[in-house]
Structure 1
Amino acid sequence: MLLIPLLVVSQSTMEYPVIENGMITANPTKVKEFEKGVAAHNKKYHAEGAYGARVYWISNGTNVGKYMWVMGPLTWSAMDTRPAKEGHDEDWNTNILPYTMAEGDQTYWRFHPDLSNFPKDFNLKYLRVMMLDMMSFKEQQFLEQLDKVAAVMKAKYPTEPYGMYTNEMPSSKDGRDFAFVDFFDKMSFLGREDTFPKDFAAVHGEGSWESFLNVMAETTTGMQSELWMFREDLSGLGPKVIAMERQ
């Protein structure tokens, strides 16, 4: 995912920002060659604009040790006009692909600026990516709860950057229909007390948290969380995220 929320989209269009995430497994005996190839490729072909790319290393869970290659955000129509710089595909096939394993995964995530909050500029370092699997035919009921989550976040955590995303091509098998992403720069963020249930009740009233949990139980089938670490050395874009006000 992914997962940087900045894209200048004309307000005259109804198009929305999409982020392309490619999960890559390096051949464990060729990690040095793989990283060298990825770094050179991104700095040559994906170093600016909507087609710029960043790379993250996944540090836990079933995908530990894999790399997440993230491009965008950009609109679906921009996919039709993505630049095909001379030698791009050849470079990927020659200097990256031979050093990877056959397994891989590609996802496209819609960013929801109205539900997210990026109050200030910041530098990428760590991402906590929480993914939920929605039950079939319960998607709308689940999505209606996100406004409540956003209200709590903006009222009680107004200075913290976070994003909400939905999978454009969801599956009932992989458990990645929705993603909530925290951006932070210190590991101590993960060890702080969880006051969200109390904060939720403070914003929405007594009994609201229990009602929210009931809806979650009725609309989701599982959750997984991953910790991603930004690899600037492998990325085309730097760590700086410029926050932009969204309507």
Structure 2
Amino acid sequence: MLLLPFLALSQNSTEYGVFENALLTPNPTQISQFEKGITAHNKKFHGDGPYGARVYWISNGPNTGNYVWSMGPFPWSSLDNRPAQEEGHDADWNNNVAPYMTAESGTQSYWRGHNELSRFPKDFTIKNLLVDYYDVKRFKMDDAKKLVEKVNKVYAEKSQEDTYGIYTNEFGSTKEGRDLAVISFFDKSGWLSRDNDFATKYESLYGKGSWEQFGKDWFAVTDGGESELWIFRPDLSGISGDVKVAERE
């Protein structure tokens, strides 16, 4: 998912932007070879356009030390022309990247970005990401989105500098439990300790007791969640972390 806010598509197009994310686990004794191989691969095959790729390093939780390879955003139709075996793409990955990964690597997911629920108030450069995953109950995604809309309105009016994106898993599973992701983009680690007094801001917009009710409503549509910290690795990526926020129509 994760991680450009907007994808320029024709106004008449019904397509939307998605991200392809692959969780990669390097052999701990061959990390330098893995990083060398994935850097060269991204520079050669994923350096621009819809196939541009970024790499992130996970710094907490069960996936600590793993890498996320993220391509996009792209419309689904673009996958029909993605780099393939004929251009040497597959051989390069198989010969120069895959040999330095463990057998557990390869978990892949596709995430749809929801611009209408996200906040990208200005251009920015990706550095650190807080990725909050939520397990949404079956048939409750629409209800969850309505609650996110309420939160988004508070940020739009009361905390306008915050930058975050909302994404949903295109192929979610009840086993994995990662259906909706909130990705907050930040520069300094001190951001993690700040108190932005969101409850007060929420109640100033929706009334006394509304924040407690929001919590009850959120727990009614979700079965918990988990959080990860990702660090952008520009040295391993095919494209930079610069994000130009498109004008909304």
TM range (shorter): over 0.9
Per the alignment, residue 6 of structure 1 pairs with 6
Q: Aligned to 2:62, what secondary structure does the other structure show?
A: helix
Q: Deviations over 1:89-118 (max 9, x none)?
A: 000000000000111311100100011111
* CA distance in 2: counterparts of 1:146 and 1:7, whole angstroms: 21
* CA distance in 2: counterparts of 1:212 and 1:160, whole angstroms: 20
132, 135, 138: which one pairs with 1:136? Answer: 138
Per the alignment, residue 212 of structure 1 pairs with 214
Q: Aligned to 1:62, what secondary structure does the other structure show?
A: coil
8 A contact 2:6–2:115 mirrored in 1: no
* CA distance in 1: counterparts of 2:116 and 2:161, whole angstroms: 16
Q: Aligned to 1:12, what secondary structure does the other structure show?
A: coil
Per the alignment, residue 87 of structure 1 pairs with 88
Pairwise CA distance, 1:6: 3.0
8 A contact 2:21–2:70 mirrored in 1: yes
Q: Aligned to 1:107, what secondary structure does the other structure show?
A: strand
Per the alignment, residue 100 of structure 2 pairs with 99
Pairwise CA distance, 1:142: 1.7
Per the alignment, residue 64 of structure 1 pairs with 64
207, 223, 227: which one pairs with 1:221? Answer: 223
Q: Deviations over 1:19-62 (max 9, x none)?
A: 11110000001101000000000011001111100000000001
Per the alignment, residue 51 of structure 1 pairs with 51
8 A contact 1:118–1:244 mirrored in 2: no
Q: Aligned to 1:102, what secondary structure does the other structure show?
A: coil
* CA distance in 1: counterparts of 2:177 and 2:199, whole angstroms: 24
8 A contact 1:127–1:182 mirrored in 2: yes
Pairwise CA distance, 1:126: 0.2
Dislocated runs of 4+, deviation >3 Å: none
Q: How does 1:146-157 map to 2 (within 5 A)?
A: 146-157=148-159
TM-score (norm 1): 0.96
Q: Which amino acid aligns with 1:232?
A: P
Q: Which amino acid aligns with 2:36?
A: K
Q: Which amino acid aligns with 1:33?
A: Q
Pairwise CA distance, 1:119: 1.5
Q: Which amino acid aligns with 2:73?
A: P
Q: Aligned to 1:183, what secondary structure does the other structure show?
A: strand
Q: Give the number of equivalent residue pairs.
A: 247
Greater CA drift, 200-209 or 172-181: 200-209
Report sequence identity in percent.
Answer: 51
Q: Aligned to 1:232, what secondary structure does the other structure show?
A: coil
Per the alignment, residue 39 of structure 2 pairs with 39
* CA distance in 1: counterparts of 2:233 and 2:99, whole angstroms: 21
Per the alignment, residue 168 of structure 2 pairs with 166
Unaligned 5+ segments in structure 2 are none
Indicate the RMSD between aligned Cα atoms, in angstroms.
1.2
Q: Deviations over 1:172-204 (max 9, x none)?
A: 121210000111110011010141222111122
Greater CA drift, 130-139 or 179-188: 130-139
* CA distance in 2: counterparts of 1:121 and 1:138, whole angstroms: 33
157, 181, 184: which one pairs with 1:182? Answer: 184
Pairwise CA distance, 1:208: 1.5
* CA distance in 2: counterparts of 1:169 and 1:5, whole angstroms: 20
* CA distance in 2: counterparts of 1:170 and 1:194, whole angstroms: 32
Greater CA drift, 199-208 or 33-42: 199-208
